[in-house]
Amino acid sequence: MTTTTNRPIPTPDERSAEFFRAAKEGRLLIKRCSNCGRNLAPQREACDACTSEALEWAEASGRGVVYSFVVMHQVLHPSFKDEVPYNVALVELDEGPRIISNLVGVANSDIRVGARVEAVFEDLSEEVAVPKFRTVAAD
């Protein structure tokens, strides 16, 4: 495995392998409830609305808005010591679910709640890519 970062890399397991496989292909997957049709964040194991555990993967557009964000100044893990200050954003996808990620290509001081964003995929290794978001012009 070729590692392109010193940061911790997610280890895909049977519950997440399809998500990371899709991310490696530049596709963002979310979950969809087979019972009521609600769209859910990819890590959900049961439906927020009807508690059904019958969930399936669905492909999201990758587009959404910045719902909230913080700028981290503390070094909470030594692998991030050269990266502070960095942003952590809560992105509300157009399909509804909110997912936590980072915004790239924008200065932390220029991040605004409500900004339109789209997913870009950062390769962390030959097996794993993760979704990040960049700001785009409003629709």
Contact positions toward Zn ion, by CB under 5 A?
33, 35-36, 38, 47, 49-50, 52
Q: Which is nearer to Zn ion, 47 or 130 (CB)?
A: 47
Q: Which is nearer to Zn ion, 47 or 129 (CB)?
A: 47
Nearest to residue 125, comparing CAs of 7, 5, 14?
Answer: 5
56/32 Cα distance (integer angstroms): 5
Torsion of CA 42, 45, 51, 55, to 10 degrees: 70
Minimum distance of Zn ion from residue 85's CB (angstroms): 39
- Locate 9 and state its tokens: 């890399």
CB 49, min distance to Zn ion, A: 5
Closest distance to Zn ion from the beta carbon of 38 (Å): 5
Report the distance separating Cα 108 and Cα 88, nearest Å: 10
Is the CB of 24 or the CB of 32 nearer to Zn ion?
Answer: 32
Residue nearer to Zn ion on the CB measure, 21 or 44: 44
CA dist., res. 92 & res. 26, Å (int):
18
Q: Which C-beta is closer to Zn ion: that of 35 or that of 87?
A: 35
Shortest distance (Å) from residue 42 CB to Zn ion: 15
CB 35, min distance to Zn ion, A: 5
What is residue 81's DSSP assignment? T
Gap between the Cα atoms of 99 and 132, Å rounded: 10
